[in-house]
């Protein structure tokens, strides 16, 4: 599709829908003529947010959270049919002249071509490859977590859960002066990636206790128990996992009270309170995109698949025998 091609005519697009819990399919839809002040974007890459999209795919979004869980350009309602997703990198094909041909990031579901207000897209810096820019949403969440945690130089960190989000938190923490960071995970293969990002690694039983700050991202009750066990006296355990409708057992006995621990939630929907007066959502996303210039972060994108295979990929990632995947990127036809 050439730049600024037929903005006044409708175009066809394909999008991925979760039609019912455990079932996804590609559907064709027709986009109307481009409205004033909007952009038409051809998608290059999307990424699957394993935790959140897994809950959506399995139909595990609690009814109480159905409105707060809506993605910015979601169509349909939970549990389905619903068009969901929020990691999209594409090229502007029509719209304001200053955006034509720009690679942009947008919080949009998996779709080959889409139209949104121009204010909804954020240009990707030229030094950041489009294929790496799919990490922006996870990095933005990690940045917000660090703002919530308010770490200090010289702190000892434990990050329990070596998935994409946990490893990005570890990467940020390792950049603090004299910080010591240990990623804790049940998968020893995470040790290599953690080392590349400047962090140590330990299996849960070998992890070092006494951390000044513990960040939990594993979305498993056992991981939360490990996080509480590793926390030092009067330390904070920052919970980034989201469990959907699953009940979670939290071990608040043992040393939780005598250690005077703080269990605190962090969620990306709001800018962290310490920065809320100075940073907008857009500025935070721009910061995340600017930090993706580091090639070492390519190690977090472990799997790719064509858009045509996305329904099967979602089923695999949300199933009981999910493959060992960090970031799953979806690549779109040229």
1 has pLDDT over 60: no
5 has pLDDT over 80: no
Could you count the other beta carbons within 10 Å of the beta carbon of residue 219?
Answer: 22
180 has pLDDT over 80: yes
Q: How many domains does the chain have?
A: 2
Q: How confident is the model at residue 90 (pLDDT cuts 50, 70, 90)?
A: very high
- pLDDT for 9 equals 78
Residue 50 sits in a domain whose CATH number is: 3.90.180.10
Q: Which domain holds residue 158?
A: 141-275
Same domain? 200 vs 234: yes
Q: How confident is the model at residue 2 (pLDDT cuts 50, 70, 90)?
A: low
Residues 298 and 327: their CA atoms lie apart, in Å, by 10
The verdict on residue 230 lying in a domain is yes
Closest CA to 130 of 41, 44, 48, 2: 44
120 has pLDDT over 60: yes
Q: How confident is the model at residue 275 (pLDDT cuts 50, 70, 90)?
A: very high
Same domain? 149 vs 258: yes
- pLDDT for 3 equals 66
Same domain? 243 vs 159: yes
Residue 160 pairs in a beta bridge with: 184, 216
Question: Poorest-confidence range of 3-17, 95-109, 222-236, 309-323?
Answer: 3-17
Same domain? 150 vs 266: yes
The verdict on residue 216 lying in a domain is yes
The verdict on residue 227 lying in a domain is yes
Same domain? 55 vs 118: yes
For 330, residues 6+ apart whose C-beta sits below 8 A from its C-beta are 45, 46, 47, 48, 110, 304, 305, 306, 307, 310, 313
Residues 323 and 100: their CA atoms lie apart, in Å, by 38
Please report, to the nearest 10 degrees, the dihedral formed by the alpha carbons of residues 140, 144, 145, 150 taken in order: 140
Triad 175, 176, 179: Cα angle to 5°: 105
Residue 91 pairs in a beta bridge with: 42, 103
- Helical residues (DSSP H) of 79-220, grouped into ranges: 136-149, 164-174, 190-196
The verdict on residue 238 lying in a domain is yes
242 has pLDDT over 90: no
* Mean pLDDT across 246-259: 89
* Mean pLDDT across 162-169: 97
Same domain? 267 vs 207: yes
Peptide bond into 64 cis (omega under 30): no
Q: In terms of DSSP bridges, do strands 82-83 and 88-94 run parallel, antiparallel, or are they unpaired?
A: unpaired
224 has pLDDT over 90: yes
The token pair that represents 31 in the structure block: 């986009």
277 has pLDDT over 60: yes
* 3-state SS, residue 28: strand
- pLDDT for 8 equals 66
The verdict on residue 5 lying in a domain is no
The token pair that represents 235 in the structure block: 């330390």
**Percentage of the chain exceeding pLDDT 90:** 87
Q: How confident is the model at residue 169 (pLDDT cuts 50, 70, 90)?
A: very high
* Mean pLDDT across 110-136: 98
Helix or strand holding residue 315 (H, E): helix 310-318
* Mean pLDDT across 149-169: 96
Same domain? 205 vs 268: yes
- pLDDT for 255 equals 87
6 has pLDDT over 80: no
Residues 57 and 240: their CA atoms lie apart, in Å, by 20
- pLDDT for 4 equals 63
The verdict on residue 130 lying in a domain is no
**Percentage of the chain exceeding pLDDT 70:** 98
Closest CA to 133 of 307, 288, 282, 269: 288
* 3-state SS, residue 187: coil
Residues 18 and 23: their CA atoms lie apart, in Å, by 6
Same domain? 145 vs 271: yes
Question: Poorest-confidence range of 47-61, 90-104, 183-197, 204-218?
Answer: 47-61
């Amino acid at each position: 599709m050439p730049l600024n091609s037929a903005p006044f005519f409708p175009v066809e697009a394909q999008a991925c829908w979760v039609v019912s819990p455990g079932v996804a399919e590609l559907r064709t839809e027709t986009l109307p003529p481009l409205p004033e002040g909007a952009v038409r974007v051809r998608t290059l890459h999307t990424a699957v947010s394993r935790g959140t999209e897994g809950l959506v795919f399995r139909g595990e979004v609690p009814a109480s959270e159905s409105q707060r869980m809506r993605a910015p350009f979601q169509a349909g309602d939970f549990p389905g049919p619903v068009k969901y997703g929020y990691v999209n990198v594409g090229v502007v094909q029509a719209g304001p002249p200053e955006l034509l041909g720009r690679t942009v990031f947008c919080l949009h579901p998996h779709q080959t071509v889409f139209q949104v207000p121009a204010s909804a897209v954020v240009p990707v810096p030229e030094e950041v490859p489009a294929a790496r820019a799919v990490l922006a949403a996870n990095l933005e969440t990690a940045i917000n977590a660090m703002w919530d945690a308010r770490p200090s130089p010289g702190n000892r960190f434990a990050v329990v859960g070596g998935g994409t989000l946990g490893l990005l938190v570890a990467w940020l923490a390792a950049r603090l002066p004299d910080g010591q960071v240990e990623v804790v995970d049940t998968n020893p293969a995470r040790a290599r990636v953690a080392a590349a990002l400047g962090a140590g690694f330990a299996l849960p039983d070998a992890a070092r206790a006494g951390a000044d700050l513990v960040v939990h991202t594993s979305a498993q009750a056992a991981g939360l128990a490990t996080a509480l066990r590793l926390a030092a006296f009067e330390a904070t355990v920052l919970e980034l996992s989201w469990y959907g409708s699953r009940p979670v057992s939290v071990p608040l006995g043992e040393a939780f009270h005598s250690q005077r621990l703080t269990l605190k939630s962090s969620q990306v929907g709001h800018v962290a309170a310490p920065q809320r007066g100075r940073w907008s959502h857009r500025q935070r996303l721009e910061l995340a995109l600017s930090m993706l210039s580091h090639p070492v972060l390519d190690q977090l994108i472990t799997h790719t698949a064509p858009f045509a295979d996305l329904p099967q990929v979602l089923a695999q990632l949300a199933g009981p025998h999910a493959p060992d995947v960090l970031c799953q990127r979806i690549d779109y036809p040229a």
